[in-house]
């Protein structure tokens, strides 16, 4: 297993071009299955999760070619409808393929990825919505088998919670269904709008993506399409946090600033100078930070759960009381004991973690517990005296393209072991 060796103390100063969004690329790749032709996807990040999605497509009979950050998927000859345990387990969000496989093949068999790093990850909303579109579902021994002998039929779907993945699955499945589907209580994350843009460009008829009511008029088929994946707001939050923890400055280009107000608000609140122009964000840290108070994660446009660990990693630098209240996932604090090995002294009380006053961190051996928690450990290590070794960085590689290289360019002393 690979590790990063990080020597803390260097101040970040530089400019970085943001990568494409993982959470946008994955559902878009799944949706290529609906198109009996070629899809050209630009700005598709080179990540292990994207590799896993491409492997699933290949297994289903698609031809996938990558040229740097452009991926071409040819789904003309897709024939398979099964995703086995090994492939499904490689990527936690393999469930986003379910709607696409059913829509294309009329049936699907998919193994569940099992227990997850962020706590239980039920798929009940995905399944009950698909049932309402006419899918017959059987679940046995961690395998979900779906059949749709009479084809998908549009319907009214009410989500009890605005699940990102369920909204995406329904949108994808409903594109080729007969008639109209309305999703009430849909998630409104920007990555869902990106998926809808991709599908509309291919001839789908989706309205309202990005709001809580999405209307999809089914069409008989979709056509070849070219699309550029939106930039990754969580990776932007990662580099802003890294710059903050070192007291430095950073410019991020290709940054979807208009989709990350709650993240930018956090850095303004702790006293950073921000300058935002078009898709460029410049941030400079103050000589003395301010306390952040309580940050609460919630569905878009509130502060994103995925950025929670990243700001917690900056708490050691902040005066006063700094808390994060996590409302989306049950078990998202597994990285906290690892941060504490560096001296962060963060206390957990139920759904809230709190740090009181500035802390001096020291280099230590720490283990990534999940993707964003792993990135948080690297961020904290930038503010630790001496050398830290961050192990199990395969978690980080799921979501960050050339993470160490980019940090190095910004002035960080980091190397992969
Ligand atoms: C997506 C993102 C993930 C992000 C999350 C919340 C991708 C690939 N992943 O995950 O990075 O952290 O949105 O913004 O885009 N739930 C149920 N039943 C369901 C589905 C979800 O109870 O059928 C619950 C989950 O347990 C969780 C909450 O709903 O507590 C949010 O999950 P959801 O929005 O579905 O997240 P994902 O789509 O899995």
> Half-sphere exposure (CA, 13 Å, Cβ side) for 20?
25
Chain-centre distance for alpha carbon 244:
22
Spatial contact of 26 and 398, defined as CB atoms under 8 Å apart: no
Among 28, 144, 164, 189, which residue has the most ligand 1 atoms within 8 Å of its CB, making it the best to mutate? 164
Among 160, 165, 166, which residue has the most ligand 1 atoms within 8 Å of its CB, making it the best to mutate? 165
Ligand 1 atom, smallest distance to 119 CA: 26
Per residue in 7-38, pLDDT (tens digit) is 999 999 999 999 999 999 999 999 999 999 99
Ligand 1 atom, smallest distance to 161 CA: 29
Rg (CA), the chain: 21
pLDDT of residue 340: 98
Kindly compute the dihedral angle of the four CA atoms of residues 113, 47, 20, 206, in this order, to the nearest 10 degrees. -30
Residue nearest to atom 19 of ligand 1 (CA): 123
Of 116, 95, 94, the residue nearest 49 (C-alpha): 94
Burial of 334 (0-12, 13-18, 19+ CB in 10 A): middle
pLDDT of residue 258: 95
Which two structure tokens, joined as six digits, stand for 92? 């936690």
Of 350, 354, 319, the residue nearest 340 (C-alpha): 354
Spatial contact of 381 and 400, defined as CB atoms under 8 Å apart: no
Q: How confident is the model at residue 91 (pLDDT cuts 50, 70, 90)?
A: confident
Q: Is 91 in the pocket of ligand 1 (CB under 6 A)?
A: no
Ligand 1 atom, smallest distance to 123 CA: 23
How would you classify residue 142: left for phi > 0, otherwise alpha for psi between -120 and 50, otherwise beta?
A: left
What mean pLDDT do residues 74-82 have?
97
Which two structure tokens, joined as six digits, stand for 173? 């499945």
End-to-end, the C-alpha distance of the chain in Å comes to: 9
Active site residues: 116
**DSSP string spanning 313-352?**
TTGGG--SEEEEE--S-TT--TTHHHHHHTT---EEETTE
Alpha helices in 66-108 (DSSP H): 85-90, 98-105
Whether pLDDT at 119 is above 70: no
Q: How far apart are CA 84 and CA 312, in angstroms?
A: 36
pLDDT of residue 90: 86
Strands 347-349 and 352-356: antiparallel
Which pTM value belongs to this model?
A: 0.97
Per residue in 97-110, pLDDT (tens digit) is 999 999 999 999 99
Q: Is 169 in the pocket of ligand 1 (CB under 6 A)?
A: no
pLDDT of residue 114: 59
Among 235, 301, 328, 333, which residue has the most ligand 1 atoms within 8 Å of its CB, making it the best to mutate? 328
The values of phi and psi at residue 137, to 5°, are -120, 135
Per residue in 171-223, pLDDT (tens digit) is 999 999 999 999 999 999 999 999 999 999 999 999 999 999 999 999 999 99
The single residue listed with the structure tokens 């000589």 is 287
Whether pLDDT at 89 is above 90: no
Which two structure tokens, joined as six digits, stand for 166? 């369920």
Q: Is 395 in the pocket of ligand 1 (CB under 6 A)?
A: no
Chain-centre distance for alpha carbon 68:
20
pLDDT of residue 285: 98
**DSSP string spanning 219-230?**
-S----EEEEPP
Whether pLDDT at 115 is above 60: no
Ligand 1 atom, smallest distance to 128 CA: 23
Q: Is 121 in the pocket of ligand 1 (CB under 6 A)?
A: yes
Chain-centre distance for alpha carbon 24:
8
Neighbours of 82 (CB within 10 A): 17
Q: Is 329 in the pocket of ligand 1 (CB under 6 A)?
A: yes
């Amino acid at each position: 297993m690979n590790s990063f060796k990080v020597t803390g103390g260097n101040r970040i100063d530089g400019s970085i071009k943001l990568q494409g969004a993982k959470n946008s690329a994955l559902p878009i790749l799944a949706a290529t299955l609906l198109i009996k032709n070629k899809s050209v996807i630009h700005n598709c990040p080179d990540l292990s999760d994207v590799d896993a999605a491409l492997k699933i497509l290949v297994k289903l009979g698609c031809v996938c070619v990558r040229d740097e950050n452009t991926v071409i998927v040819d789904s003309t000859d897709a024939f398979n409808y099964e995703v086995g345990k090994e492939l499904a387990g490689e990527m936690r969000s393999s469930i986003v393929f379910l709607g696409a496989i059913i829509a294309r093949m009329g049936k699907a068999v998919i193994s569940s990825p099992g227990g997850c790093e962020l706590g239980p990850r039920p798929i009940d909303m995905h399944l009950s919505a698909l049932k309402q579109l006419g899918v017959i579902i059987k679940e046995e021994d961690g395998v979900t088998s779906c059949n749709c002998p009479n084809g998908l039929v549009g319907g009214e779907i009410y989500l009890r919670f605005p699940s990102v993945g369920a909204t995406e699955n329904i949108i994808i499945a409903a594109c080729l269904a007969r008639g109209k589907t309305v999703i009430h209580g849909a998630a409104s994350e920007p990555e869902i709008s990106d998926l809808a843009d991709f599908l509309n460009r291919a001839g789908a008829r989706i309205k309202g993506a990005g709001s809580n009511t999405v209307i999809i008029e089914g069409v008989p088929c979709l056509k070849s399409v070219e699309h550029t994946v939106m930039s990754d707001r969580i990776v932007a939050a990662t580099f802003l946090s890294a710059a903050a923890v070192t007291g430095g400055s950073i410019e991020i280009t290709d940054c979807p600033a208009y989709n990350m107000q709650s993240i930018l608000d956090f850095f303004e609140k702790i006293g950073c100078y921000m300058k935002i122009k078009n898709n460029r964000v410049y941030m400079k840290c103050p000589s003395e930070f301010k306390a952040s108070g309580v940050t609460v994660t919630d569905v878009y446009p509130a502060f994103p759960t995925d950025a929670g660990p990243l700001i917690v990693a900056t708490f050691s630098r902040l005066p006063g009381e700094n808390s994060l209240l996590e409302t989306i996932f049950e078990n998202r604090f597994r990285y906290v004991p690892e941060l504490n090995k560096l001296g962060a002294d963060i206390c957990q009380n139920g759904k809230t973690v709190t740090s009181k006053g500035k802390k001096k961190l020291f280099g230590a051996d720490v283990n990534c517990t999940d993707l964003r928690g792993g990135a948080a450990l690297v961020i904290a290590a930038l503010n630790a005296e001496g050398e830290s070794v961050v192990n199990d960085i395969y978690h980080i590689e799921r979501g960050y393209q050339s993470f160490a290289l980019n940090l190095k360019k910004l002035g960080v002393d980091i190397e992969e072991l």
